[in-house]
Amino acid sequence: MQAPDLTPIDFVPDTGARTSIIKRKYLEHYPRVNIKQASKDEQMEITGIGSTAIFAEHYIEDFPLTMQAVDGEIIRLYRRVYVVDKLPVPCIIGNNILRLNGVNIMFNDVLGDFAALRI
């Protein structure tokens, strides 16, 4: 994905994740986002990433996601993304974005060890 300042940000599409999360340090490339404190009901413990759970207390309601589709089309999406301090990758895109936008992961469409996202 690409930040508003044109910095490319690596992300992992995760079809097993119900929500999307971004590591706080990458928000320096998104100067206009509004980080909100999650209510007790909105806070979540995220497991399955590394050896310890991650607790998400903050989120961005309409985080601007800009990606390029396989055919070159630029896709802009705005969805809730939780903000965490520790994450082994810059960003994880979960089903709150993948399924809602009909994203297909096409493993056979590209050469090498990488998959292409078809949106």
Report DSSP letters for 30-89, one per residue. -TT--EEEPPTTT-EEE-SSSSS-EEE-EEEEEEEEEEE-TTS-EEEEEEEEEEES--SS
Q: Distance between terminal CA atoms of the chain?
A: 13
Mean pLDDT within 65-88: 88
Q: How many angstroms separate the most distant Cα atoms in the chain?
A: 45
For 22-43, how does the pLDDT look when each residue is reduced to its tens digit (9 = 90+)? 999 999 999 999 999 999 999 9
φ, ψ for residue 24, nearest 5 deg: -55, -40
For 47-63, how does the pLDDT look when each residue is reduced to its tens digit (9 = 90+)? 888 788 889 999 999 99
pLDDT at 49: 81
The domain locations on the chain are 12-118
Question: Would you tell me which CATH number, out of the four given (1.25.40.320, 1.10.540.10, 2.40.70.10, 3.10.180.10), belongs to the domain 12-118?
Answer: 2.40.70.10
Average pLDDT taken over every residue of the chain: 85
pLDDT at 2 over 80: yes
Q: Helix, strand or coil for residue 95?
A: helix
For residues 90 and 103, give the distance between their C-alpha atoms in angstroms, rounded to a whole number. 20
pLDDT at 1 over 90: no
pLDDT at 16 over 90: no
